[in-house]
Amino acid sequence: MKESNPLKFYFVAGERSGDLHGGNLIRALKSKNSEFDCRGFGGDYMRQAGMEVVVHYRELAFMGFAEVLANLSTITKRIKQCKQDILNYRPDAVVLIDYAGFNLRIAKFAKANGIKVYWYISPKVWAWNQNRALKLKACIDQMFVILPFETAFFKKFDWEVDYVGNPVLDAVKSHPVDRDFLQRNGISSDRPLIALLPGSRKQELKMIIPLLTEVVNQNPTLQFVVAAVDNLANDYYKELNGLPNVKFIYAGTYDLLSFSDAAIVTSGTATLETALFKVSQVVVYKTSLVSYWIARSLIRVPFISLVNLIAGREVVKEMIQQRANGNEVSAELNLILKDKQYRDRILNGYEEIINILDTGSASDNVARLMLHYMQS
């Protein structure tokens, strides 16, 4: 009997969180169908799961309107490379993970070439320029969303999408806590521990590290630990290097959050991760003046953090642009640490979010649905 050819999937993830969730999805797909090959743009998590990585996401991680414009030639070159690689590989399906601007171009291309297109983790079209949903619908075979309110949003465009649960909750649930984390990293257990999560992209660090340095200098009795990334040069953290109440850890964010009393977090997936570890937080965000004014004129939602968006109300404070300064962030941090009633209100909000999101393994749900759609 002639053996069937393995299913071939081409993945595209353009940042750390997409790489993490892509890696988990690849493992889930392999557990359900061993006859499975994959290749694409991604990172270390996807490589460890068995994907052949053509381009690492560190070559793609640009944020903000001004920054994207400044790197347009690099992005254009990578899009062209991705398209050609898809043609050469001839996958059964292209699986796109978040990373809207780049992946929308890949979706159109794949669709035009008769390749099935699945999108996992929807672009935030509900936040601004909502009619982009129609562009997505035209070139995607199936969308898998991770925020409960997204199904109702897409219904407005006569589009049935699949809510699959949230992969961040899966990752947090499955994390085995390192009980020796504090001792191994020389972190004191008798002083409040503040996690600093400045982000994983160059543009984020350039804006946020000076702010965090102000906060650290204003709070010499607190100990701060930076969740640093090892794919960026140490120079990006230089203002925090050498400060007596600052330590750095690499590839240990979840262990850090397991032991933290509070956190200062750059807006993004990390705000939700922090909430799921039940660590009270201050959300901060700064970008270039041009990017900020463009975003401010376009944004159609009342919050920027996933925590507040999922809850539908303010659970945590968001310090954006001018408010992202040492004095205001320090004041909020100290309120969290010293006012138990205030802190408990934040933690109660986190419990609401966990109840909303807990619908089983997102990776397993996507893998099951994806293989079902492939067969049908």
Residues 6+ apart with CB under 8 A from 14: 41, 57, 60, 61, 97, 98, 99, 102, 103
- The count of other CB atoms within 10 Å of the CB of residue 248 is 16
Q: Say if residue 217's pLDDT is above 90.
A: yes
Give the separation between CA 88 and CA 296, rounded to whole angstroms. 41
Q: What is the pLDDT of residue 301?
A: 62
Determine the average pLDDT of the residues in 324-353: 98
Residue 293 has pLDDT above 90, yes or no: no
Q: What share of the chain is helix, strand, coil (3-state, %, to 5)?
A: 50, 15, 35
As a whole number, mean pLDDT of residues 289-308 equals 69
How far is residue 73's CA from residue 60's CA, in Å, rounded to a whole number? 11
DSSP string covering 57-107: GGGT---SHHHHHHTHHHHHHHHHHHHHHHHHH--SEEEEES-HHHHHHHH
Instruction: Please identify which residue in the block is written with the tokens 């994983």.
Output: 200
292 and 321 in contact (C-beta within 8 Å)?
yes
Q: Which residues pair with 227 in a beta bridge?
A: 249
> Per residue in 242-256, pLDDT tens?
899 999 999 899 999
Ramachandran class of 114: left when φ > 0, alpha when ψ lies in -120 to 50, beta otherwise:
left
Query: What mean pLDDT, rounded, does the chain reach?
Result: 91
Residue 70: both structure tokens together: 């400044």
Record the pTM: 0.80
Q: Which two tokens stand for residue 173?
A: 């649930």
Count Cα atoms within 13 angstroms, Cβ side, for 277: 26
233: burial class by Cβ within 10 Å (0-12, 13-18, 19+)?
exposed
Spatial separation of the C-alpha atoms in residues 284 and 328, rounded to whole Å: 11
Q: Whole-angstrom Cα distance, residue 68 to residue 219? A: 35
Q: Which of 349, 333, 334, 266 is nearest to 305 (CA)?
A: 266
Whole-angstrom distance, CA of residue 208 vs CA of residue 186: 25
Task: Return the closest-CA partner of residue 276 out of 171, 144, 128.
Answer: 171
Confidence band, pLDDT 50/70/90 cuts, at residue 200 = confident
pLDDT score at 68: 57
Domains, in order of start, for the chain: 7-165+360-375 (3.40.50.2000), 181-357 (3.40.50.2000)
> What pLDDT shows up at residue 169?
92
Least confident of 127-141, 254-268, 359-373: 127-141
Amino acid found at 117: V
Instruction: Identify the bridge partners of residue 118 per DSSP, sorted by sequence position.
Output: 95, 142
Average pLDDT score over residue span 158-177: 93
How large a percentage of the chain has pLDDT more than 70?
92
Q: State CA 250 to chain mean position distance.
A: 17
Rounded CA separation 56/50 (Å): 14
More confident residue, 61 or 12: 12
- Residue 2's pLDDT is what? 41
Q: What is the predicted pLDDT for the residue at 233?
A: 85
Instruction: Assess whether pLDDT exceeds 70 at residue 361.
Output: yes
| 54-90 residue pLDDT tens | 999 988 766 555 555 556 777 889 999 999 999 999 9
Q: Looking at residues 272-276, what average pLDDT do you find? A: 97
The helix/strand/coil state of 324 is: coil
pLDDT of residue 295: 57
User: Cβ distance 265 to 227 under 8 Å?
Assistant: no
Residue 1 has pLDDT above 50, yes or no: no
